[in-house]
Amino acid sequence: MNQPKQLFAWKRFSLEESEHTLPNGLVTNHITLEHPGAVLILPVANDGKLVMIHQYRPSIRRWIYEFPAGTLESSESPQYCAQRELAEEAQLKAEEWHAIGESLPAPGFCNETQYLFVAKQLSDCEAQMDEDEVIEVVHFSVDEVKRLIAENEIQDSKTIVAFCRAQLLGLIT
């Protein structure tokens, strides 16, 4: 494999092309979206409801339901990033944290790893939201989230992965 060639860079992301020898021996050029990684937080309110955000996403030009999430800053741990993003997007802090694994959202063209967390024992806090984020905080029961996923109202893959994993681990019922 040769050194990657950077084709484009924006903020903390870049497109890089490099030569790869595949397991079958074929030598090919591959373009990868280099991503610093991200976190997703599934917050469980003290009444058992799940805290979600209703966020306008310019890339798809519409509002979606998702759990708070965000991109890692340079030299920031996933845990610290999760705490920061929960504060910024939902104005919440948590006393109890559960790391529930990692997810690879688009491994065919992107090297992003998403670190998933469940946050409990929530309380209010104040933090500055990013200026380009348009967010409304909403609360749903677990059954309401199940229904929204089944009816295709929740389409965000990281949200669905975290919800399923949290259920399988018994962290939400």
Q: What pLDDT, in 10s, does the model give residues 80-119?
A: 999 999 999 999 999 999 999 999 999 999 999 999 999 9
Regarding predicted confidence, which is higher, 107 or 1? Answer: 107
- Residue among 76, 89, 102, 131 flagged as catalytic: 131
- The whole-model pTM stands at 0.92
User: Both tokens of residue 37?
Assistant: 């990684």
The DSSP code for 25 is: S
Domain ranges of the chain: 5-34, 38-169
Q: Report yes or no: 85 and 137 within 8 Å, Cβ to Cβ.
A: no
pLDDT at 138: 98
38-169 CATH: 3.90.79.10
* DSSP-assigned states of every residue in 83-113: HHHHHHHHSEEEEEEEEEEEE-S-TTTB---
Q: What pLDDT, in 10s, does the model give residues 44-72?
A: 999 999 999 999 999 999 999 999 999 99
Active-site residue, 131 included: yes
CA pair distance 68, 50, nearest whole angstrom: 11
